[in-house]
Structure 1
Amino acid sequence: MPSHLLQLSNTSVWNSVQSAVIKVFQGGALQSNELYTLNESIRWLLKTEMGSFITDYFQNQLLTRGLSDVLDQVLLHSGDEQLVVLADMWDRFFTEILPTLQAIFYPVQGQELTVRQMALLAFRDLVLLKLHLEETLCGAASVPPAVTQMLLVLQGVHESGGPSLEYYQLERLVEIVVSPYLSNVLHKRNQLLLGQYH
């Protein structure tokens, strides 16, 4: 096959993967046999020159697109109601979207971060930390159990290269809902001594 035609078919294969991912974020289910086809498509693409871009594109484009819709829906509400909607969105993300993303991108192995870690970190940075929940959590009549679960699950995901600023922001939220909470005090104290902690 001439290379420009191969390029074209690679692009259309990748487009079908993208469409499936966005459909999953929008609440659609995969058709029977669709998962097998998507896995085969990704296996094929990994062998092409597009292979090295799949993880980056998933991390920086697909997750951003999918999660911006989630954030928009949560931002329609405020106060305790926002926590309830966030709990629902997290529940759907954690029980339906995340396992489906892991299944679709199953052939992508041996990365620094797994597909699961990338998706959870993206949820933390692109949804949770965009909500500025400190006040809402402090003033809430009660915190939905799914929100507590979300904070604890996200706290268990670590980037390579040590805790980030986002991780510390997450820890502050965990401190509000989990009591008593032993934070990463020793690490913080060391950072203060070194003058690196902002």
Structure 2
Amino acid sequence: MGSFRKPRPRFLSSPVLSDLPRFHAARQAALLGSNKAWNSVHKAVIKVFQGGSLQDNELYSLNENIRQLLKSELGPFITDYFQNHLLSKGLMLMEEKMRVCEGENPLESLTRIWDNFFTEILPMLQAIFYPVQGKELTIRQMALLGFRDLVLLKSNLEQVLHHLHTDVPPSITQMLLVLQIKDLQVRDQWWLIP
């Protein structure tokens, strides 16, 4: 009698050349879905910085897009993308608004911009990126630091406050407290903000 050999079992995890086109198609579909998710988040964030509002159920779909991105290979880069691209682009739009208002009282324009950022934009950014749990900085902390560095520090606030002949508006005081700007000179006084 001859020897009878059993065929070797194929494991599901072992690659087969015939499965390669299906694998590439699935990977391209996943990347296309990721690109679509990125684009929707990008458009929504810029719209918020420009003063627009989200449509009904758009926040839910944005949260779902971010959850999808977190599960993809792009997940670890979401906070970097937010900080280095979306946030910086949005804050440049705000800084540009400050430059457009150069003819008016700089304190009034900074007050308007801060109030808009703190009461409208910041909560919406936190809501959009709610699924993201930062390991180092939260979305709120990144946004506040970005506002300080890209808007406030470019506004020459120290000079404006030094020449101010009236009281500091409450919104500016709030901004300084929230951003913890220390040692800002105001008419021979030092504001020491804890």
TM-score by length of 1: 0.79
Change (3 A) 1:107 1:138: same
Q: Is the 8 A contact 1:80 1:140 kept in 2?
A: no
Q: Give a deviation string over 1:115-169, Cα, whole Å, max 9, x none.
A: 10000000000000012221111112332221111111111xxxxxxxxxxxxxx
Report the alpha carbon displacement of residue 73 of structure 1 after superposing the two structures with TM.
1.0
CA radius of gyration, larger in: 2
Deviation at 1:69, TM superposition (A): 1.0
Report if aligned partners of 2:177, 2:193 keep a CA contact under 8 Å in 1.
Answer: no
Q: What is the aligned partner in structure 1 of residue 186 from structure 2? A: 176
Displacement after TM superposition at 1:183 (Å): 6.3
Structure-2 change in CA distance of 1:7 and 1:107 (3 Å): same
Partner Cα separation in structure 2 for residue 78 and residue 31 of structure 1: 33
The reply on whether 1:144 has 2:169 as its aligned counterpart is yes
Shift of 1:79: 8.1
CA distance in structure 2 between the aligned counterparts of 1:14 and 1:128, rounded to whole angstroms:
29
Per the TM alignment, residue 78 of structure 1 is displaced from its structure 2 partner at its CA by 4.1
Whether 2:100 is the aligned partner of 1:76: answer yes
Q: Is there any run of 5+ residues in structure 1 with no aligned partner, and where?
A: 156-169, 185-198
Q: 2: CA distance between counterparts of 1:183 and 1:84?
A: 22
> Quick one: which of 136, 140, 143 aligns to 1:116?
140
Larger fraction in helix: 1
**Identity within the alignment, %:** 58
Q: Show the counterpart of 2:17.
A: none
CA distance in 1, matches of 2:32, 2:74: 12
Residue type of the alignment partner of 1:131: S
Q: Which residue of 1 aligns with 2:149?
A: 125
Count the aligned residue pairs. Answer: 169
Q: CA deviation at 1:182?
A: 4.0
Structure 2: segments with no counterpart, 5+ residues: 1-24
The answer to whether the Cα contact below 8 Å between 1:80 and 1:136 also exists between their aligned partners in 2 is no
Does structure 2 conserve the Cα–Cα contact (< 8 Å) formed by 1:75 and 1:82? Answer: no
The answer (yes or no) to whether the contact 2:129–2:139 under 8 Å persists in 1 is yes
CA distance in 2, matches of 1:17, 1:183: 36
After superposition, residues 50-65 of structure 1 pair within 5 angstroms as 50-65=74-89
Structure 1 residues 1-198: aligned runs within 5 Å: 2-78=26-102, 81-142=105-166, 143-155=168-180, 170-173=181-184, 175-176=185-186, 181-182=191-192
Measured in 2, the distance between the counterparts of 1:130 and 1:180 equals: 20
**Superposition TM-score, scaled by structure 2 size:** 0.80
